[in-house]
Amino acid sequence: MPHAQKPTVQHIRDALENAIVDGKFLPGERLDPEALAMRFGCSRTPIREALQALEGSGLVSVRAKRGTFVTKLGVPELAERFEVMAELEAMCARLAARRASPPEIETIRAAQAACMRAVTTGDSDAYYYENTAFHHAIYAASRNAFLEAEALRLQAMLQPYRRRQLQSRGRMKRSLEEHQTIVDLIAAGEADAAAAEMRNHVVIQGDRFHDLVASIRMADA
């Protein structure tokens, strides 16, 4: 990931986004433009532009004359974003139920099968990866490219906080069952039910909310 042959702004942006989403930079951490310029073998200018693009998608916050930092969301900000995310994903599921082509449904089922394998082997990293693939497949099946892009953007924004959340075996198994219900409803064309199920799957409430708050308090220390 350090530096490719021609590190264009787009490449830098993607590399930094992946690094942040994958947790290689932690929320609140400062991103030093000069160090990054060194790493990517270019000047500060493309780095600066990449960072500003990331600010636009909400992943970093540029504080004037003070530095750019990985966005660190507090509990209220996170709650707001999860609320919107639940609605966007519900919309994806609703549209997918109405519009998904057989190959798209097959892709979703394949992702679900991969999740299942990860659960049986107990590989939580693999589950994490396949889980996002599952959701992305549903975004795509909505056949609304703009909606898909918005969902991807918001998902990237929330990913750093979801990462360590709920590595408990119980949650993985529960999540898998919810996935199955969602797939079946989409395949059956039950748009409203699929949307409702997805909303419940994504929204953070009850114990999961308190788990999230606890993990944030821990990260702050």
Partner DNA sequence: ATATCACATGTTGTATACATCAAAACTTGA
Partner DNA sequence: TCAAGTTTTGATGTATACAACATGTGATAT
211 binds, among its own copies, DNA, none (CB under 5 to 8 A by kind): none
Cα separation of 74 and 181, whole Å?
A: 32
Query: Which residues partner with 62 through β-bridges?
Result: 68
Interface with DNA, residue 218, by CB under 7 A: no
Interface with its own copies, residue 32, by CB under 8 A: no
Q: Residue 167: what are its φ and ψ, rounded to 5°?
A: -90, 5
State the angle between helix axes of 206-220 and 75-99 in degrees (0 to 180), rounded to the nearest 10: 130
132 binds, among its own copies, DNA, none (CB under 5 to 8 A by kind): none
Q: CB within 8 A of 78, min separation 6: which ones? A: 158, 161, 212, 216
218 binds, among DNA, its own copies, none (CB under 5 to 8 A by kind): none
67 binds, among its own copies, DNA, none (CB under 5 to 8 A by kind): DNA
Q: Residue 14: what are its φ and ψ, rounded to 5°?
A: -65, -45
Query: Which residues partner with 52 through β-bridges?
Result: none
Applying CB under 8 A, the site for its own copies has a residue count of 18
Distance separating the N- and C-terminal Cα atoms of the chain: 29
Site string for its own copies, 37-56 (x = CB under 8 A): ------------x--xx--x
**Binding range to its own copies, per CB under 8 A, among 31-39, 83-91, 124-132, 162-170:** 83-91
CB 27 within 8 A of CB 78: no
Interface with DNA, residue 5, by CB under 7 A: no
Interface with DNA, residue 34, by CB under 7 A: yes
Taking the least distance from each CB to DNA, the nearer of 35 and 113 is: 35
Interacting residue with its own copies among 1, 75, 84, 188 (CB under 8 A): 84
Cα separation of 139 and 91, whole Å?
A: 9
Query: What size, in residues, is the chain?
Result: 221
Give me the residues that bind its own copies (CB under 8 A), please.
49, 52-53, 56-57, 77, 80-81, 83-84, 87-88, 91, 144-147, 150
Q: By the criterion CB under 7 A, which residues form the site for DNA?
A: 8-9, 32-34, 42-46, 48-49, 62, 64-68
